[in-house]
Amino acid sequence: MTEMISLESIVKTYPGSRVPALKGVSLDVRDGEFFTLLGPSGCGKTTLLRCIAGLENPDAGAIRIGGAAVFDSHRGLNTGPNKRNIGMVFQSYAIWPHMTVFENVAFPLRCRGERDLKAKVMHAMEVVGLEAFADRYSSRLSGGQQQRVALARAIVAQPDVMLLDEPLSNLDAALRGQMRVELRRLQREVGITTVLVTHDQHEALAMSDRIAVMSGGEVLEVNDPRELYERPSTIFSAQFLGNANRLQGTRAEGSHTVSTPIGVLSVDTLPATGDVACFVRPEHIELHLPSTLNGVPNSFSATVTEIRYVGEYCECDVTINGKDGAVTLRARMALSDAFQSGAACIVRLPPESIHCIPITAATL
């Protein structure tokens, strides 16, 4: 698959700052792909998106869109945002309240001097389900409808790339879930290469073909959602995605066991000998009644110390008396389970569900 966007060694430092916002970022986005830049606030993801759009000028590096160079610090090349053939949806949507829906969507075409634009505008509104709102002023639209206007405006000129800067963050939880589905459907239907910026891990996992995890102005790793969630290659990614439980461990040479603060764990796959970080997701931890798993590997006596009802299931904290003191793990409990806060239980960590990452400078 060919690359639609190619970034090479992008560096950006804002005036007055001693710390670069971007530290030599390089990555490729494939043609037709839904690609997400995921990371915490201040990691550089929005700065990188704005560099692609031409709204920020990198200090160094090169950017190509559709095979054509739009920025190259060595050649002194910097193509303006209006010449990059991109559509963009901002976090605030940037919908003009004094214009109708039709006028908002038609704006990019009018800027290009196009005259026969009605068919294109109506098609874009039909794609997002707003054809019946053409004459309504945007100030009379709901948040979800305003977002659809912004999406229609982004695709009406048939750009090569659509850039999305946290477009769902201003919506309530129910509408946000609905718009995830609609936005992904729209992207697939139109077939446009899309780059999304978000700090919401659930959003990234549900919508993306691939995800780039960013921290401190760098891309730590790029992978598809399932691989990134189940087998991350960096400790930051493992902790940022899914709130995994972490146990420090040391592997014994020639074995598939790790010595941890709660005891010895059997693990299916392990890196070479040395110190490792062992991660297990809350949904993979098993809770059993006392005395039901005597002698079963990776089973430990524990106490349920807290239970939090969250609707579909209960989150709970279980505390194990380890060799160096108490260790608390987060687990999930089915609503049908009979455990109460303070109850004794057996905690089992399935060997196949434990993911170990070697502790090195490259994985931190």
Give, for 11, the enclosing helix (H) or strand (E): strand 3-12
Q: Tell me, yes or no, if the two domains 3-236 and 244-358 fold the same way.
A: no
Q: Would you state the pLDDT for residue 142? A: 86
In contact, 320 and 347? CB cutoff 8 Å? yes
Report the half-sphere exposure of 333 (CA within 13 A, side-chain side).
26
Its CATH architecture, for the domain 244-358, is Beta Barrel (2.40)
How far is Cα 62 from Cα 186, in angstroms, rounded to an integer? 30
**pLDDT tens figures, 12-71:** 999 999 999 999 999 999 999 999 999 999 999 999 999 999 999 999 999 999 999 999
Q: Would you state the pLDDT for residue 237? A: 95
Q: Would you state the pLDDT for residue 73? A: 96
Q: Would you state the pLDDT for residue 170? A: 76
Report the mean per-residue pLDDT for the chain: 91
Q: In which residue ranges of the chain is pLDDT below 50?
A: none
> What's the whole-model pTM score?
0.91
How far is Cα 44 from Cα 21, in angstroms, rounded to an integer? 5
Q: Would you state the pLDDT for residue 364? A: 64
Q: Would you state the pLDDT for residue 1? A: 65
Q: Would you state the pLDDT for residue 272? A: 63
Of 100, 151, 92, which is closest to residue 126 (Cα–Cα)? 151
How far is Cα 146 from Cα 313, in angstroms, rounded to an integer? 34
CATH superfamily of 3-236: P-loop containing nucleotide triphosphate hydrolases (3.40.50.300)
Q: Residue ranges of the domains in the chain?
A: 3-236, 244-358
Q: Which whole-number Å values give the CA distances from 251 to 98, 266, 315, 327, in the listed order?
A: 65, 10, 30, 19
How far is Cα 141 from Cα 29, in angstroms, rounded to an integer? 34
How far is Cα 185 from Cα 193, in angstroms, rounded to an integer? 13
In contact, 149 and 141? CB cutoff 8 Å? yes
**pLDDT tens figures, 309-322:** 988 899 999 999 98
Q: Would you state the pLDDT for residue 362? A: 62
